[in-house]
Chains A and B, each alone.
Chain A
């Protein structure tokens, strides 16, 4: 009985985790050696590590996205911010003698400025988040191209190389950076009242204002945080390829990040976010991608499989589906009595559908 309660209570938590485990197990059964991890020159190697390595930029962006979605917002501009911060990193490294830390601080600062811009539009001018961030999404890549003057700027820096592809304690450095950010965010969001406030603002702005929460400032800082995360991701992506590509850096990353947050069970309507599950969501998406690539399936199947699985997960997670399934079971019990069977079930679901209208 206790076990049943546990399952019921953690239904939402378990769904993404089980999906991840299932995807890993299925892939491992198809692809031999998928689970194997080797130690080479003090570095860990293997498909699972490759997934962590590749998931890092998306995970960072998704972290910021989760906080923004918690305030009932959305940040479409993260891809553009990645391009901008990458461009700043590359141009400053190439054109100045500044120490690397200063370059990184500048790139992060520019990202936070972008976030501030979004935040001001959303919280001061109360423009819908999707519209407000659309502006920077459209214009941002133009800004990045302006910074790089339309070129793909390549650079060389040992510190940045290490950030992109280096190792520390057998793990990729960028994975350590991501872990650090995740822990920091978790501590701030869960051990201080800030997380509670953000979810309160997302759930009901007016009520939270009555409680004395400075909603505007909170929303503003959520977007600044998202800008910071995107900039960090942009630095890592630029460091990875040792160059800044204003057109393609972080392309579609915002969509993967939003998907990860939604796969984690958060509603785009705000109010409840799951930071660790968001990371699980990112890992699901990245594992899918890597699995398709390593399973020998042609790469062109990637998008179709990804889209189909995501649609399936969304449909299963939809409260409506659960309602229908539970309706199905209760109806079945009744149906056993008057032996109407499946017909009445179909009718029941359509009735429910139209009843709400």
Chain B
């Protein structure tokens, strides 16, 4: 018997397979591994951001600052590398520390001042975007042999496709995310917090500490996404990744995580991000459809998954009542 908790993620998997199958059936080129590996590379920064967002949403919170964080981290990296002559590895290290610190700071405000996450991360969104503007107003290239070296790392797969460094980094971060969620005490605390923060506290979950860690983790993942985005585009731009927070939330929801918190899987988020990528790819392959169909399709999928989750919740309640 299938556990009803797993139904949303199974539905996500089914939608993913159906969309991919449709692509393979309809377009000859879709069968090549190149399409799949491009999906991994092109959506890496979105999926990485969404992994961090999964923890936030699992705990019943939300993080609207992730898109701005990506832009800020990219611009910061570019500044450190080209203006101070710092080695990219150090620049990446500093950028990650800054991302975690800012995430943790938002977590402190949410946990200790008891201001809603929505409004705190909204202010964070303005702040990071503003900081990105302060460092640099224009798009700047990140020219460094180390960065282009990372970009060129390539692990060929059968067919024409292959794993880029970006794709591999995403998969590693995905594995780490899954391990944190399923195998650590912190992961358990996140689920407990999202289920019911009151009983979580009674069960001995350190609520405030966990909240700070969650937003620090989200800061880490979106900063990592900023690094990957900088490597992917080879440049930094203060207007980069506008609206990514919404795509990330959509990926999490399509991935089967309940927006009320407590239920969901990091792997589902990966599928959710890939589904958005496939829709984009299918529209590109079709050629006659405009890009706004992506928005409509993602909106429709959101609606479908939300209603599905709602239906499951109602069904489970009815069954447990009888």
Contact = CB atoms under 8 A, between A and B. Distances in A.
Contacts of A315: 109, 113, 115
Interface in B276-321: 290-296, 298-300, 302-303, 306-307, 310
17 contacts: A131-B259, A135-B303, A135-B306, A138-B295, A138-B298, A139-B299, A143-B292, A150-B290, A246-B292, A255-B126, A259-B119, A269-B116, A301-B130, A302-B133, A304-B134, A353-B112, A353-B208
B129 A259 contact: no
A238 interface: no
A25 interface: no
B142 interface: no
Contact of B122 (A137, A143, A246, A255): A255
Interface string A130-166: 1110111111111101100010000000000000000
Interface stretch (B23-31, B92-100, B245-253): B245-253
Secondary structure call for the B interface: helix
Contacts of A135: 299, 302-303, 306
B252 to A, nearest CB: 11
B127 A268 contact: no
B134 to A, nearest CB: 6
B239 to A, nearest CB: 12
Contact of B113 (A131, A246, A321): A321
Interface of B: 62, 109, 112-116, 118-120, 122-127, 129-131, 133-134, 137, 201, 206-208, 246, 249-250, 253, 259-260, 290-296, 298-300, 302-303, 306-307, 310
A301 B120 CA distance: 19
Contacts of A101: none
Interface stretch (A178-186, A306-314, A340-348): A306-314
B310 A125 contact: yes
A197 B310 CA distance: 27
A258 interface: yes
Interface residues of A, number: 48
A301 B113 contact: no
Given A139-B300, A304-B127, A354-B208, A131 B253 contact: yes
Interface string A55-75: 000000000000000000010
A303 B260 CA distance: 30
Nearest to A315: B113
A17 B116 CA distance: 23
Given A139-B296, A311-B123, A357 B207 contact: yes
Contacts of A318: 113-115
B126 A306 contact: yes
A99 interface: no
Nearest to B129: A303
A127 B310 contact: yes
Given A131-B306, A138-B302, A310 B292 contact: no
Contacts of A215: none
A125 B311 CA distance: 10
Given A146-B290, A301-B134, A310-B123, 5 more contacts: A139-B298, A142-B293, A150-B291, A303-B129, A307-B130
Closest 8 CB pairs of A and B: A139-B299, A303-B130, A142-B295, A304-B130, A307-B127, A300-B133, A307-B126, A145-B292
